[in-house]
Amino acid sequence: MANTYTQIHIQTIFAVSNRQSLISGKWEDELYKYITGIIQNQGHKVLQFNGTTDHIHIVFGMRPNQSLSDLMKNVKQDSSAWINKKGFINGRFSWQAGYGAFSNSKSDLPRVIEYVRNQKQHHKKESFMDEYLRFLKEFEIDFDERYILKAIS
Bigger pLDDT: 115 vs 151: 115
pLDDT (mean) for 5-23: 93
At 16 the pLDDT is 94
Q: Residue 146 above 90 pLDDT?
A: no
In a domain, 1, yes or no: no
Q: What digits encode the pLDDT tens for the residues 112-134?
A: 999 999 998 988 898 888 888 88
Q: What digits encode the pLDDT tens for the residues 53-102?
A: 999 999 999 999 999 999 999 999 999 999 999 999 999 999 998 899 99
> Which residues are paired to 12 by β-bridges?
58, 101
In a domain, 124, yes or no: yes
Query: Which domain CATH number covers 57?
Result: 3.30.70.1290
User: CB under 8 Å to 113, separation ≥6 — which residues?
Assistant: 47, 48, 59
At 150 the pLDDT is 63
Longest dimension (CA), the chain: 51
Which residue range is the domain that position 116 belongs to?
A: 8-144
d(CA 37, CA 12): 16
Q: Residue 153 above 70 pLDDT?
A: no
How many folded domains does the chain comprise? 1
The closest alpha carbon to 117, from 19, 41, 32, belongs to 32
Buried-exposed string 119-129: b where 16+ CB fall within 10 A, e elsewhere: beebbeeeebe
In a domain, 152, yes or no: no
In a domain, 120, yes or no: yes
CB of 59 within 8 A of CB of 9?
yes
At 31 the pLDDT is 98
CB of 64 within 8 A of CB of 8?
yes
